[in-house]
Amino acid sequence: MEQKIKIFENEEFGKVRTIIKDGEPWFVGKDVAKILEYRNTKKALSDHVDEEDKYQGDGVTIRDPMGRVQHPTIINESGLYSLILSSKMPRAKEFKHWVTSEILPTIRKTGGYVSNEEMFIENYLPFLDEPYKNLFRLQMTFISKLNERIRNDKPLVDFALHVADSDDLIDMNAMAKLAAE
């Protein structure tokens, strides 16, 4: 049975293909090993991932970009952590943070992960008419701009909250002068 692949993409690390097997997220081991800069991905999976944390065989098939059927070695969450903890890559900690703060929570909440609005529309809203899809795109653009503004304003908000929480309150003119510096 061919699995529905969910692709997680990150500018810093690249792509990781995932599937849901028995209700749990599994990762294509080769993708994870490459991101963690293992020279020999097959050896990394053999050396660092316990047998019960990986699977290869019938029931797990994907197609490569040329349409050929493949039976990749997939690893569960425990196997993923084994590879991360064994990695010598300096950015392994950041990779773990991306996986644990973004990928896994998203899979658990939605059953999948979609990195852009077009993919979301096609995967979760294929039944919508085009005007509604355009309205959704407009809403997502607006939300994206709001999130960007929140990120940009965060230092000022943090500063204002810090000043407001201090015991030595200052007037607004003094605060404006400090913020401008």
Q: Is 10 helix (H, G, I), strand (E, B) or coil?
A: strand
Strands (E), the chain: 6-10, 14-21, 24-28, 54-55, 62-63, 69-70, 74-75
Let me know if residue 22 belongs to a domain: yes
Based on the fold, state whether residues 139 and 94 are members of the same structural domain: no
Is pLDDT of 119 > 80?
no
Let me know if residue 176 belongs to a domain: yes
- The proportion of the chain whose per-residue pLDDT surpasses 90, expressed as a percent, equals 18
Based on the fold, state whether residues 16 and 104 are members of the same structural domain: yes
pLDDT (0 to 100) of residue 123: 66
54-83 pLDDT tens trace: 998 777 777 777 878 888 899 998 898 889
Let me know if residue 123 belongs to a domain: no
Based on the fold, state whether residues 134 and 106 are members of the same structural domain: no
91-124 in b/e form (b: 16+ CB < 10 A) is ebeebbebbeeebbebbeeeebbbeebeebbeee
Select the highest-mean-pLDDT range: 1-15, 32-46, 100-114, 150-164: 32-46
Based on the fold, state whether residues 138 and 96 are members of the same structural domain: no
Based on the fold, state whether residues 23 and 102 are members of the same structural domain: yes
Let me know if residue 166 belongs to a domain: yes
Based on the fold, state whether residues 106 and 25 are members of the same structural domain: yes
Structurally, how many domains does the chain consist of?
Answer: 2
- Domain end, chosen from 89, 114, 139, is at 114
pLDDT (0 to 100) of residue 179: 83
The structure tokens 């204002």 sit at 160
Let me know if residue 107 belongs to a domain: yes
Let me know if residue 124 belongs to a domain: no
10 CA to centre of own chain:
7
Q: Are 29 and 45 in contact (CB under 8 A)?
A: yes
Average pLDDT on 91-119 reads 74
Based on the fold, state whether residues 78 and 136 are members of the same structural domain: no
- pLDDT-derived band at 28 (thresholds 50, 70, 90) equals very high
Give percent helix, percent strand, percent coil of the chain, each to the nearest 5: 55, 15, 30
Q: Which residues contact 31 (CB under 8 A, 6 or more apart)?
A: 14, 15, 16, 17
The sign of the dihedral angle between the CA atoms of 94, 96, 141, 148 is negative
Select the highest-mean-pLDDT range: 26-30, 83-87, 94-98, 136-140: 26-30
pLDDT (0 to 100) of residue 115: 58
Residue 96: which of 112, 111, 80 has the closest Cα?
Answer: 80
Which range of residues forms the domain containing residue 155? 130-180
